[in-house]
Structures are given as C-alpha cells and as structure tokens.
Amino acid sequence: MQTTFIFLKPDAVQRGLIGQVLERFERKGLSFVGMKLVQVSEDLAKQHYAEHAEKPFFPGLLKFVTSSPVLACAVQGPNAVAVCRTLIGATNGQKADPGTIRGDFGMSGANNLVHGSDSPESAERELKLWFTEAELVAMSKSANDWIYDPSDLG
C-alpha cells in the first residue's frame, strides 16, 4: 500500500464540492487514513510550494491557497500517487478529460480544486508537512478483499 497527500483547495471548499470530490477517491477503492480542515498559514504554503518560489505565479498561488480553509487528506491504496493523479486530471480544468475531478468541476488552471502529490518522494515530504504521525491511522477495510486482487497489493 502507498500513501499519498491530497488537499482540496479553497475553491473546492468554497464551492461546496468536498463530498463529491472525496466520493471519487472512495468509489475508486482508496482509503482515507488522515483528514483535517486547515487554514493554511503563509509559512506552510511557502514550504509546500517551495519548488515554485522563483516562478512569477508564486505570490498569487500563496494568496489563493491561504485565502480559505483547505481539506488536507492522506489517501492510501496500491499505486495511490499515480491513481490519484489520474482521478484528479490535467492541471487546467478546461483541458482535463471528462470523468476526472478537474474535467468535471474545473474551468481554470489556477483555481484547479485539488492538489495531489506528483511522486512517492513528494508524497512523503508533503505528508510530513501537513500531518503528524499521530494524525494518521492504520486502516484495514474488509471491503479491500472485494476491491483488490492479492497481486495488486505486491
């Protein structure tokens, strides 16, 4: 099992899409092993988006992500990073495939509803930024026997 970091951005929270977005991950068979509503500080935003610090859009990104609470999630499942990225869709909602979260709910490249870690290494770093170990739970669902073939679990 792999754990990845997802957060529903201010636009998803303000538009009342939390339930519909979370449902996409659950319907796929992924498990939430951590979740909390967070008012993002500028310091946390800068740490999270450090790789973009020199890009021209960085100040706007910080303003956006700190403008309203976000829902931070730790999501677990086989190949969770890649599976979640596929569910989320292309960065710009106008270009994202129908059936993806951004394709179904998004019309912007900046206000794009959801962040998902782009690699296992990013997931590890981001999970440590947003969650303490005590905030993550070990989870085993009996439904997993019906969702995954044992070969899916390594």
Domain ranges of the chain: 2-140
Residue 41: its pLDDT value, please? 97
The CATH number of 2-140, from 3.30.70.141, 3.40.228.10, 3.90.180.10, 3.40.50.1220, is 3.30.70.141
Give the active site residues.
115
- Whether pLDDT at 35 is above 70: yes
Q: Which of 67, 65, 68 shows the shortest CA–CA distance to 126?
A: 65
The predicted model gives 27-33 an average pLDDT of: 96
Residue 154: its pLDDT value, please? 63
**Which value, to the nearest 10 degrees, does the dihedral of the CA atoms of residues 60, 66, 138, 82 take?**
-20
The 10s digit of each residue's pLDDT in 131-141 is 999 999 987 77
The predicted model gives 41-47 an average pLDDT of: 96
pTM equals 0.91
Who has greater pLDDT, 55 or 149?
55
Alpha carbons 93 and 11: distance in angstroms, whole number: 13
**Which band of pLDDT confidence, cut at 50, 70 and 90, is reported for residue 145?**
confident
- Whether pLDDT at 109 is above 80: yes
Alpha carbons 90 and 34: distance in angstroms, whole number: 25
CB 113 within 8 A of CB 106: yes
Alpha carbons 30 and 81: distance in angstroms, whole number: 11
CB 87 within 8 A of CB 28: yes
What Å distances lie between residue 70 and 2, 7, 118, CA to CA?
A: 23, 7, 19
